[in-house]
Amino acid sequence: MNNAESFTSQTFHYLMQNKLAVIGGILVLLVFVLSIFAPRFAPYDPSKIDIKNILVGPSWSHLLGTDDLGRDVLSRMLWGGRISLEVGFVAVGIATIIGLILGSIAGFYGGWIDSTVMRAVDIMLSIPTIFLVLAVIAILEPSIINIMVVIGLTSWMEPARLIRAEFISLKEREFVVAARAIGAADSRIIMKHVLPNGLAPILVSATMGIGGAILIESALSFLGLGVQPPTPSWGSLLSSGKDNIEIAWWLSAFPGLAILITVLGYNLLGEGIRDALDPRQRE
């Protein structure tokens, strides 16, 4: 067994010993499977209007009740989960790519490049993310593509800071010095030597960032600036439920619970991965 395989097996071992991380992983996997296979699990067409079953409470025929148009809440939640996960993964992917590029350049070269990148990070961090996203989305046409791009473009600062710190620590290690001594180009040193050894914090940041992106998307949809009807999303389900909360509690309770479970799952899993990757965090 080589060093990479040994490190991976040890990390997985520590991760499986963390009960909270295991619970988080189970929650993440459950939501992922139910959302991806929504067409198979959803009992009804999420857009089907049934005027005979308007605001019907949870029952055997509609496990989570129906909304003000008679649509099945469970079916809409399952399909809405696909939207939330899509936004989360794509937005975090965009943020991670930008953060990797800027953070690696800043940490590897230092000097004025590092100062410029970090000042840009400071400026972006000084603006509350949710207000920045709201401002941009209010200008652009609300759509799932715009939401994913905007969230990604306003969430790259944390990955950039993490990868910069890792590069500053790694660029003076013996294997990097040896690579420079044999004349390896900077791009090869970054891609082949430094970056593979500095991805651990990015993995943690990306895992926990998915939960944050889902929260932002839900907030935007709740305010009417996110995914537009009739496409279901957890935020829009919450928004439609607030008008009938006194007589139809299930319209707000179940989507809110889905958001809570999903974000909690990703946060627990992310913290577990962080502890498993960092020997100082291991008990």
Q: pLDDT class for 30, splitting at 50, 70, 90?
A: very high
CATH of the domain at 71: 1.10.3720.10
Please indicate, yes or no, if residue 12 is contained in any of the structural domains. no
Closest CA to 194 of 212, 214, 209, 174: 174
| Helix-helix angle 129-139:144-153, to 10 degrees | 140
Domain count for the chain:
1
Is residue 88 within 8 Å of residue 213, measured between CB atoms? yes
% the chain with pLDDT above 90: 19
Is residue 72 within 8 Å of residue 46, measured between CB atoms? yes
Please indicate, yes or no, if residue 67 is contained in any of the structural domains. yes
Print the SS3 string covering 169-203: HHCCCHHHHHHHHCCCCHHHHHHHHHHHHCCHHHH
Contacts of 55 (CB under 8 A, 6+ apart): 65, 66, 67, 68, 244, 247, 248
Q: Is the per-residue pLDDT at 248 higher than 70?
A: yes
d(CA 227, CA 146): 10
Q: pLDDT class for 221, splitting at 50, 70, 90?
A: confident
Adjacent-strand bridge partners of 66: 72
Q: What 3-state class would DSSP assign to 154?
A: coil
- Which amino acid appears at position 96 of this protein? T
Please indicate, yes or no, if residue 11 is contained in any of the structural domains. no
Please indicate, yes or no, if residue 30 is contained in any of the structural domains. no
Is residue 46 within 8 Å of residue 75, measured between CB atoms? yes
Contacts of 219 (CB under 8 A, 6+ apart): 130, 226, 235
The runs of H, that is alpha helices, within the chain are 3-17, 19-36, 38-41, 73-109, 111-125, 129-139, 144-153, 157-170, 174-181, 186-188, 200-222, 234-242, 250-277
Mean pLDDT check: name the lowest of 40-49, 133-142, 243-252: 133-142
Please indicate, yes or no, if residue 20 is contained in any of the structural domains. no
* pTM for this entry: 0.84
The single-letter DSSP state of residue 230 is: T
Can you give the pLDDT at residue 116? 92
Mean pLDDT of 251-258: 90
- In sequence order, what DSSP letters do the residues of 15-54 get, joined into one string? HHH-HHHHHHHHHHHHHHHHHHTHHHH-SS-TT---GGGT
Please indicate, yes or no, if residue 281 is contained in any of the structural domains. no
Span 62-121, pLDDT tens digits: 889 888 888 999 999 999 888 888 888 999 999 999 999 999 898 888 889 989 999 999
Please indicate, yes or no, if residue 27 is contained in any of the structural domains. no
Domain containing residue 242: 39-263
Biggest alpha carbon distance in the chain?
A: 77
Q: What 3-state class would DSSP assign to 74?
A: helix
% the chain with pLDDT above 70: 95
